[in-house]
């Protein structure tokens, strides 16, 4: 696992957008896995700016969803499908046909989960999966004590996660109790995992995921198992890392040819 400490969220967004752009230059039809929430917005803004400046051609890129609320009607503004289309697909100049995600409104949710896992495999797998981290250490919506081998499935949200997400709705009562999420095992299938965390509120979770033991209690610690995992954190989110100075020194001495 590589840990990169950046000055602020904008620098983290630019760094990850550069990695995505490099990937698209090597593989124009790369499948990019995206996360939702406020943390990854600087990434999407920086990548869209590169597309507008013709620094990279994203016209063949494919976008896939990490998770989705269960029960929100199609087109609901806070469904993650709507959010990803609005914040990623449209700014990159892509059509809805470039997007794939689980069907949170399906009558048979279990079948929809299996279908999405199968669709990701049939698409050739995710080339780069962007992740956030919850204050309780979750990735995707794999809440604490999720199986480290889990596949795409339905999960019940903790009250903490529902409270964290209530800012996007008209109050806590509007936040769904259930979601479809890529499982930890599904996430680990991606060729490159990039976790972005910003702000002091994420500092404890980052420290446990990076420096703590591998544990289902901290789902993000599963990144320790991945052969190509990158954790990008701003100074605030890095504030609890015991090895912060080592991580800074390692990144400063990193050969340019290695990339992100």
Please give the structure tokens belonging to residue 205: 């979770």
Label residue 128 exposed, middle or buried (CB < 10 Å: 0-12, 13-18, 19+): buried
- Between vectors from CA 146 to CA 141 and to CA 152, what angle results, nearest 5°? 55
Which one from 18, 68, 117, 138 is the annotated catalytic residue? 138
Which one from 18, 103, 136, 164 is the annotated catalytic residue? 136
- Judge contact between 241 and 206, C-beta under 8 A: yes
103 carries an active-site annotation: no
127 carries an active-site annotation: no
Which one from 18, 67, 103, 164 is the annotated catalytic residue? 67
143 carries an active-site annotation: yes
164 carries an active-site annotation: no
Radius of gyration of the chain from Cα atoms?
17
Which one from 103, 127, 143, 164 is the annotated catalytic residue? 143
- In the block, tokens 């949200």 appear at 157
Q: What are the DSSP calls for 52-117, one per residue?
A: HTTSS--TT-EEEESEEESSPPTT-TTSHHHHHIIIIITTTT--GGGEE---TT-SSHHHHHHHHH
Which candidate, 194, 140, 257, 187, places its Cα nearest to that of 20? 194
Provide the annotated active-site residues: 67, 136, 138, 143
């Amino acid at each position: 696992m590589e840990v990169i400490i950046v000055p602020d969220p904008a620098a983290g967004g630019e760094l990850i957008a550069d990695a995505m752009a490099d990937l698209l230059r090597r593989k124009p039809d790369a499948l990019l896995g995206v996360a939702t929430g406020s943390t990854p917005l600087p990434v999407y803004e920086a990548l869209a700016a590169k597309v507008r400046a013709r620094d990279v051609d994203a016209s063949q890129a494919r976008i896939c969803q990490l998770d989705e609320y269960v029960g929100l009607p199609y087109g609901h503004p806070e469904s993650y499908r709507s959010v990803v289309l609005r914040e990623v697909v449209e700014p990159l100049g892509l059509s809805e046909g470039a997007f794939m995600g689980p069907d949170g409104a399906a009558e048979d949710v279990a079948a929809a989960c299996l279908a999405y896992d199968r669709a990701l495999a049939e698409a050739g797998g995710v080339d780069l999966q962007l992740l956030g981290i919850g204050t309780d250490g979750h990735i995707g919506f794999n809440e604490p004590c999720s199986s480290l081998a889990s596949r795409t499935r339905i999960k019940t949200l903790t009250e903490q996660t529902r409270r964290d997400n209530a800012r996007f709705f008209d109050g806590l009562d509007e936040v769904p109790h259930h979601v479809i999420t890529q499982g930890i095992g599904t996430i680990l299938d991606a060729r490159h995992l990039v976790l972005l965390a910003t702000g002091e509120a994420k500092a404890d979770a980052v420290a446990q995921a990076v420096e703590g033991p591998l544990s289902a209690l901290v789902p993000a610690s599963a990144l320790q198992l991945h052969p190509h995992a990158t954790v990008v954190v701003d100074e605030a989110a890095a504030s609890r890392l015991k090895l912060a100075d080592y991580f800074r020194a390692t990144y400063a001495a990193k050969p340019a040819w290695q990339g992100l």
